[in-house]
Chain A
Amino acid sequence: MSDPIYTEIIIDEAKNAHNVGKLENPDISQHDANPMCGDTITLQMNVADNTISDIKWHGEGCTICKACTSVLTQMIKGKDLEYAKNLKKEEILSELGLEHLIKQSPVRIKCALLSLKTLKLGLYSYLAKKIENSSSFDGLKEEASKLY
């Protein structure tokens, strides 16, 4: 049985998700939720030399949410912050063949991108704290909230 969303790749990725767990004393810990469905996610990262040296996540989510989060964490682990900051939704979705969600499923796209939204919120908060400029932080936060 072939299915446009629930391919073997996605079901496997969700079932055997990567980087699941918690970090002790992470440099970045960001929690977010999708108010419409109650999905929640916590993304934790350690940063060394401007690079994401370690990343873990935990939460409650659907197959799409879990698969996308798993892929996202693999994409940015070991990469520099600039790369993570500029990561685009299309890059994550294309890894799983889910680009069609953008046009076809305005509801499910939010499941797919919850982790990206959480990542950006976490990164921006971290960076804002570093430059200690609260006005710029608000701007970044607003930018992150417009991600969908």
Chain B
Amino acid sequence: MQSSISLENIQKDFPILQRTVREGKPLVYLDNASTTQKPIQVIDAITDYYTNHNANIHRAVYALAEEATAAYESTRDKVAKFLNIKNREEIIFVRGTTEGINLVAYSWGRKNISEGDIIVTTEYEHHSNIVPWQLLAKEKGAKIEYIGVDDNGELLLDQLDSYLETGKVKLVAFSQMSNVLGTITNTEEIINKCKKAGIKTLIDGAQSVPHMKVDLEKLDCDFFAFSAHKMLGPTGVGILWVRKDVLETMDPFHGGGDMIREVHKYETTWNDLPYKFEAGTPNIADVIGFAAAIDYLTAIGMDTIRNHEIDLTKYALEKMSKVKGIKIYGVKDILKRGGVISFNFHDVHPHDVATIVDRDGISIRSGHHCAQVLMERLEVAATNRASFYIYNTKHDVDKLIKSLEKVAELFKL
């Protein structure tokens, strides 16, 4: 592990950033809220695992199995350190944020939500923090309520108070950063309100953990989920953290190998935490690859990353707001938002914008960003979204601006 990595020339660590697209245009990758590119260190870690250590974990006694198990389990320790988690057995490897939230809905929700109960979420959630609750609510006859979003792109937290006053709320599930607006949620305030009322909180950290320092001991929520692939790691790996006293009361999610203590014909006892929730052979190689991503981010420093993105977002917002016919969504205060900028052109559909900038080698996202409830709130079908990460530069922003000016010209805005 490198002790320290500077952001200067960091692009050299990312092989994909060396390639060209669309007939020789250098790649400018601005879809990091969707997934990030992988540094060579992560790619090498996965290759090394398959080349030198591949074996199934946790059971066999031979050398390879011991090595594979040690490497897999060391990722758990790195996650614990990265997020300041005291108990490693509270960390469950899942496929991603989506699976993590579904696990909670299934294993905790089915046991604790009943008819007439309320699950509160927000208008700026990703579908992964809405649909699992809809499925659960339908099964149990429970209700879902939404904390609204104001015109600035911030949550209307007063609405939470009125929901809490009903005495029927069992869970408040929300994202720490909006994947469309980039708004950073006032997480502490929500958790405090819920704790006072004795209500459980689930945080979707998919957009926050990759971009800012997160301290789970300090936050003191009940459930926290995020994905490796949005923070330089491989796809197919995510983390669900559940506070131990809550985790201990939960039933298994998937049944199968590794999650059992003893299996008999008609009854089974469960393995210890966290293995009770990790049935079947897990995604060993990618979990090991994720450790390299955590090492990489740690070597840069999460504060450095956050500052870099503040700097870049500020620069981009200033320049973008001068493009003809553009409308930018979200909160103006740079300290209240991450490196995500959603925008639209008057009368030009986002798909057309994304296609035009793609010709210049620039990857931005267009669509509803799996946040159709928010799209309804903004009264649009879709938006364009540029989102930054550690390898993006002001030069990338300049290229985007130039390309956006072409859109304005082409559509005579």
Taking Cβ atoms with an 8 Å cutoff, the residues of A that contact B are 1, 3, 5-6, 11, 15, 36-40, 60-66, 108, 111
Q: Which of A38, A60, A63 contacts B348 (CB 8 A)?
A: A63
Q: What are 20 residue pairs bridging A and B, where the CB atoms are less than 8 Å apart in the complex?
A: A1-B406, A1-B409, A1-B410, A5-B355, A6-B410, A11-B410, A11-B411, A37-B350, A37-B351, A37-B367, A38-B375, A39-B351, A60-B381, A60-B382, A62-B350, A62-B352, A63-B348, A64-B352, A65-B349, A66-B349
Interface residues of B in 329-358 (CB under 8 A from A): 347-352, 355-356
A113 to chain B, nearest CB (A): 14
Q: Is B75 an interface residue (CB 8 A)?
A: no
Q: Are A3 and B356 interface neighbours, CB within 8 A?
A: yes
A50 to chain B, nearest CB (A): 35
Q: Are A61 and B349 interface neighbours, CB within 8 A?
A: yes
CB neighbours (8 Å) of A66 from chain B are: 349
Given A63-B348, A63-B352, A108-B351, are A39 and B410 also a contact pair (CB < 8 Å)? no
CB neighbours (8 Å) of A1 from chain B are: 406, 409-410
Q: Are A62 and B409 interface neighbours, CB within 8 A?
A: no
Q: A1-B406, A3-B410, A111-B351 are in contact. List 16 more A-B contacts (CB 8 A).
A: A6-B356, A11-B411, A15-B347, A36-B367, A37-B351, A37-B382, A38-B368, A38-B372, A38-B375, A61-B349, A62-B349, A63-B349, A63-B351, A63-B352, A64-B352, A108-B355
Interface residues of B in 349-397 (CB under 8 A from A): 349-352, 355-356, 366-368, 372, 375, 381-382
A-B pairs, top 8 by smallest CB distance, nearest first, are A62-B349, A60-B381, A62-B351, A38-B368, A63-B352, A37-B367, A38-B381, A62-B352
Which residue in chain A gives the minimum CB-CB distance to B348? A63
CB neighbours (8 Å) of A108 from chain B are: 351, 355
The residue among B355, B368, B411 with the most chain A CB atoms within 10 A of its own CB is B355
Which size bracket describes the interface of B in this complex?
A: 10 to 19
CB neighbours (8 Å) of B351 from chain A are: 37, 39, 62-64, 108, 111
CB neighbours (8 Å) of B410 from chain A are: 1, 3, 6, 11
CB neighbours (8 Å) of B381 from chain A are: 38-40, 60-61
A33 to chain B, nearest CB (A): 10
Which residue in chain A gives the minimum CB-CB distance to B382? A38
CB neighbours (8 Å) of B355 from chain A are: 5, 108
CB neighbours (8 Å) of B375 from chain A are: 38
A125 to chain B, nearest CB (A): 24
B370 to chain A, nearest CB (A): 10
| CA of A111 to CA of B366, assembled, Å | 13
Given A1-B406, A1-B409, A60-B381, are A37 and B352 also a contact pair (CB < 8 Å)? no
| CA of A3 to CA of B411, assembled, Å | 12
B125 to chain A, nearest CB (A): 16
Given A1-B406, A37-B366, A37-B368, are A6 and B352 also a contact pair (CB < 8 Å)? yes
